[in-house]
Structure 1
Amino acid sequence: MHTLAQLQSGKLAGIQRLNLSADLTSLPVEIFNLADSLEILDLSNNRLRSLPKELSQFKKLKIIFASNNQFVELPEVLGQCESLEMVGFKANQIARISERALPPTLRWLTLTDNKLEALPDTIGQCRQLQKLLLAGNRLQQLPIGLSRCEKLELLRISANQITHCPEHVLELPNLAWFAFAGNPFSECKAPQATVPEISSSHLTLHEVLGQGASGVISKATWNSPQHQFPNEVAVKIFKGEVTSDGYPQDELRACLKVGSHPNLVKSLAQVNEPDCRALIMKLIPPAYKNLGLPPSFASCTRDIFPENFSLTTRQINKMIEQMTSVFEHLHAQQVCHGDLYAHNTLFDQDANILFGDFGAASMYHMLTVAQQEKIKAIEHRALGHFIEDLSGICAN
């Protein structure tokens, strides 16, 4: 994080990345002294409502973030930034996107948690677009022009108001990660009873084990003996708000619908109270660790791995066999995971895997048979990418 004082004093001259959160209502004029060097501009967590037309002077600007501001429309000047590839305006109040606001070089667009009612059909001119996050808006349909974005690989449209399944999106040749729960066309309010309901008062939470977009996972113990459950469990308490993947309640329903599988994190019980929605799970043994790391800016949609990390052919073949079994199990239950990645996979030294994180999961039993087959084909591409990524770290 940089400071306004650093910028105004000239100490940041020549930098390539600027991260400035200073309760800004407008861009300080000193920022334009960085026009010849700046590649990444992060203006998140300010009070900005607009960007000046002079931003187009930043010829090297590739990435701009302006989440948690007060924009009501996507600034048109973005469409004039000739090198701009990544735009992130999450959690603003954006209701409108001009046809001129989308740079033709766009690869990654995040507009989660806004007030969008429509996308311009000219989004189809963004032929390099690979990643599009639109969860938590007011979209009623997707423009036909999106079908021209043939490089699109990841799409999040959960928690919108889309009334009909967007058939043209299902035909995209490279789409592999798709989240669409929480729309009228995919509505499913029926509670899942695959595990018992318990009261939150039965548990005491201890240290936090991890957290993500949709909730916090903690270790917990029972306040009184529960013979049907282990003494120690993991509890995921959902945040109850829209995330980059959709509504937490849809994640819970999908997770419960898939039931048990040897390579899925095991669900034991659920809490379904007005002020607490939670999933109780079996604790993951400490021998398990993350298989991959989330995509980077450069990789966009593909996982990355730690430097010098490799697996043997035997390990990779065993992991692929297990993940293929998980894939078939999920789709036998008519659930699309939507986030089939190595970074959502845990493994131990014997190449046993555990798969989880259903934040982007969508149930699709309400769709036509033809639509269901297309959903399965989309996720089959993700499985293919998982296999390809593991093959890339094969040691022998």
Structure 2
Amino acid sequence: MHTLEDLKAGRLAGISRLDLACGLEQFPQEIFDLADSLQVLNLTGNRLSDLPEDLGRLHKLKVLFCSQNRFRHLPESIGQCPMLEMVGFKSNQIEQVSGAALPPRLRALVLTDNRIDTLPEALGNCSELQKLMLAGNRLSELPAALARCTQLELLRLSANRLPALPQWLLQMPRLAWLAYAGNPMAAGLCTPADPGHCQVVDWQHITLEQVLGQGASGVIHQARWQQQSAPVAVKLYKGEITSDGLPLNEMSACIAAGDHPQLVRLAGRIDNHPEQLPALVMQLIEPSWFNLAGPPSLDSCPRDCYPPQRRLSLACVRRLAGGLASVSAHLHGHGITHGDLYAHNVLCDDAGGCLLGDFGAASFHPLDGSVAAAALQRIEVLAFGVLLGELLACCEEDCEALRVVQQACVQPEVLRRPEFSEVCQQLRGV
């Protein structure tokens, strides 16, 4: 984190990234002194409510983050930045978004947790848009022009006021990661009030130990449970909206998913936490397991980042692909789309064993055989196809049969992709 003192003293000349969080109420004019080098500007966690009208002077700026401020509108001067690709204004108080505020090269727009009820039709002019994060707003419809954004790959619509998903959305050729839970849709598209049977665990029988991890939706602890001798994991959910949606929807999807070898085993649900935090008791994963990849970077967004040394045997790739297709088929059979089928949400071991985690973007779909339900499932098949392509890129040897499966999964016509049961059958023959 940089300091305002260093900025004003000219000690930051030539930097490409500036991070300032120091209670700013006004945009420091000294930032313009960095115009010839500045590419990433992070002003998250201040008290800003507007940006300068001449923001376009930052002619090399590619990334702008202004989350957790006091904006009530998306400043139109953003649209004047010729190189700007990524814009993040999460957790403000934004009510208005003007088409003039959308930069011409926009690839990612994050407006999570605001008060937006309408979006401009001009959004359809953002031909390079790949990632659109809109969870936690007040949208009751999407602009029809968004259908022209044929590069869109990731879309978060959870916790809005959408009564339905538009038909054109289910036909978008590159959409792979979609979340829409927490909207007042028809019964089959809503999170069920009763997601299924789950043992109730008494909080008094749980002893929390060290923190194992922390994400947007909650904190995972190693813990002791009186009912068994081996340690368990306990996830305590937060109540706030996340970039993907509502933590309680995630919890319901975890319960509804049931048992599968490629899912972390769920032991029970805690209802009597002293602070009324919802919580789940789960299988504790061996520390030798590791994430298959890291999450997307500013440059790779919306694609995962693999360690450069990551090489996989063909046998390992086959086992990973089979396991992930199998668990996806299982989820779809329970009316659940994962919504975030990414390598960074896959834990694996050296032999290709895998577990799919993080249900924060999970949504429900009907099991009625409808075209809409089929399309929602095939959208996730595209995500699997992308992941399989990444695995093949890490593979030590080529496999034409796997490439045939992968190409079938990523074809642009949504309903021509195979469903996961077909993918599983094809993989068994590889």
What's the TM-score, normalizing by structure 1? 0.96
Q: Helix, strand or coil for the counterpart of 1:117? A: coil
Out of 208, 211, 219, the residue aligned to residue 208 of structure 1 is 211
CA distance in 2, matches of 1:325, 1:210: 27
Partner of 1:239: 238
Shifted more, 4-13 versus 281-290: the winner is: 281-290
RMSD: 1.3
C-alpha deviation, 1:296, in angstroms:
1.1
CA distance in 2, matches of 1:199, 1:277: 12
CA distance in 2, matches of 1:133, 1:390: 26
Superposition pairs of residues 64-143 of structure 1, within 5 angstroms: 64-143=64-143
CA distance in 2, matches of 1:51, 1:138: 24
Partner of 1:348: 349
Partner of 1:268: 267
Does the CA-based 8 Å contact 2:191-2:363 persist in structure 1? no
Q: What are the superposed Cα offsets for residues 199-249 of structure 1, whole Å, 9 maximum, x if unpaired?
A: 222211110011111010001112xx41xx453110011001111010111
Structure 2 gap segments, 5+ residues each: 398-430
Whichever residue aligns with residue 251 of structure 1, its letter is E
Partner of 1:317: 318
Superposition pairs of residues 1-396 of structure 1, within 5 angstroms: 1-185=1-185, 186-222=189-225, 225-226=226-227, 229=228, 231-273=230-272, 275-365=276-366, 369-396=370-397
CA distance in 2, matches of 1:349, 1:164: 43
Shifted more, 68-77 versus 280-289: the winner is: 280-289
CA distance in 2, matches of 1:257, 1:189: 9
C-alpha deviation, 1:362, in angstroms:
0.5
Q: Helix, strand or coil for the counterpart of 2:201? A: coil
CA distance in 2, matches of 1:272, 1:302: 37
- Structure 1 pair 63–362 and aligned structure 2 pair: CA distance change class (3 A): same
CA distance in 2, matches of 1:187, 1:335: 10
Does the CA-based 8 Å contact 2:294-2:305 persist in structure 1? yes
Does the CA-based 8 Å contact 2:335-2:367 persist in structure 1? no
Q: What are the superposed Cα offsets for residues 160-204 of structure 1, whole Å, 9 maximum, x if unpaired?
A: 111122222111110000000000013334122332122222211
Structure 1 gap segments, 5+ residues each: none
CA distance in 2, matches of 1:367, 1:157: 23
C-alpha deviation, 1:139, in angstroms:
0.7
Q: Helix, strand or coil for the counterpart of 2:101? A: coil
Q: What are the superposed Cα offsets for residues 10-58 of structure 1, whole Å, 9 maximum, x if unpaired?
A: 0111111111111111111211111111111000110000000121111
C-alpha deviation, 1:306, in angstroms:
1.0
C-alpha deviation, 1:129, in angstroms:
0.2
Whichever residue aligns with residue 301 of structure 1, its letter is P
Percent same amino acid at aligned positions? 48
C-alpha deviation, 1:366, in angstroms:
7.7
Does the CA-based 8 Å contact 2:190-2:363 persist in structure 1? no
Does the CA-based 8 Å contact 1:200-1:276 persist in structure 2? no
CA distance in 2, matches of 1:359, 1:219: 20
- Structure 1 pair 141–86 and aligned structure 2 pair: CA distance change class (3 A): same
Give the count of matched residue pairs.
Answer: 392
CA distance in 1, matches of 2:384, 2:229: 33
Shifted more, 152-161 versus 182-191: the winner is: 182-191
Does the CA-based 8 Å contact 2:134-2:157 persist in structure 1? yes
